[in-house]
Structure 1
Amino acid sequence: MSTKFVCEFNSETTCILITKNDQVYSIGYLASKIYSIPGNYAQFIDELSNETIEQFYNGNNYLLALNHLGQLYSMGNNYYGQLARSDYDDRFLIAQRIPNNMISDSTDSTIIMISCGYYHCLALTTNNRLYGWGFNGYQQIFVNNSYPDKIKTPSLLPDYYFDSNQINYIKCQGHKSIVLTQSGLVYYWGNRVTIINGNHQSSKPN
């Protein structure tokens, strides 16, 4: 097997291989849970093969994959809705593409950045829209008690979370979300924090 791309996740318990002819394989914990095979077997992932996957992202027991067209795929455990599937499912699920219209409000915008926390995800699009889904129990997606603890559909975050600034970088860390703007301001929210921007702490938006 001639490989062009290898990545390891979850303390090296899951490995993804992409061959030079764009065939995708998974070895380790995630493949063993999804396909009920021994952890040292290489499992061919048909749903991700020949899709020109450029980057993988991982949380606890799940993966996201982004291809060259900005199309996003998810696989693994979906208990908190982190795979953006129709149901919250504690089983391990095979790879499936997340429809473009779930993470875009226009036909000319695509995903340019993804980040995964323990059980939640953020996605940034080319038109500076920020979407979140998955576990929201620490208000790491929406800092408002009116939102549920589990969000299965990618949902647009209000731009006042980052004062409508142009976003340069996003990061999910554990149960927190972090945004860095082009002007150098840092915003973060989630477990044990309120919205933080620049050098001062502001209250959570209602």
Structure 2
Amino acid sequence: MSRATPYDRDKTLDAAMSLFWDKGYHATSLKDLEVALAMKPGSIYAAFKSKENLYLLALERYFTNSRDFFRRKAEQAETPLQFLADHLRGFALLASGDAARQACMLTKTMVDTRSTDVTLAEQSRQYLLAMRTEIANVFEAAKACGELFENADPNRLARRYQANLTALRLELHQGIDQSELNELAEDMAREVEAIRR
């Protein structure tokens, strides 16, 4: 009797994340997972217990990747506010095949599962709140280095910024014309720059 080929957990979770991000939780079938992960149903369940648990792991991977990328870019930036403005501009520069041209997986999950899977919806909500905290931390850093006025509210600014970012990515997801995308990203970036002290 031949033994199952060992799987690379990181590679498998990346494949699951990509599939779930593209199709959503409910539209992804077991057959889709078999093909994407190159695993039999029994092996998928042995490794990940359930489709929901696999989705939670993929969602965690998406969040961790997004947060870590955001932090790295913030640390490399000339100033905090310039980073936030350029982060928005960066979405207009994405290559046509870049996965980030679709709506955020966290947002898509919350919309897809809000009335059907409380666990997934709540986890995505928590990750979105955590990302807002990351954004607020950058606004806080801008305040600390004198880029913002003392009465600036980093949490309020972060809420607005995240709303703009979500809207920008939704436009990308819908296939907005490139010139319109450039204008929208630039308008949002200039909003950030306009609050500079």
Give the TM-score band, short-chain normalised: under 0.3
Max radius of gyration: which structure? 2
Q: Of Structure 1 and Structure 2, which has the larger fraction of its residues in strand?
A: 1
Provide TM-score, normalisation by structure 2: 0.28
TM (norm. structure 1) is 0.27
RCO (CA 8 Å, sep 6+): is it higher in 1 or 2? Answer: 2
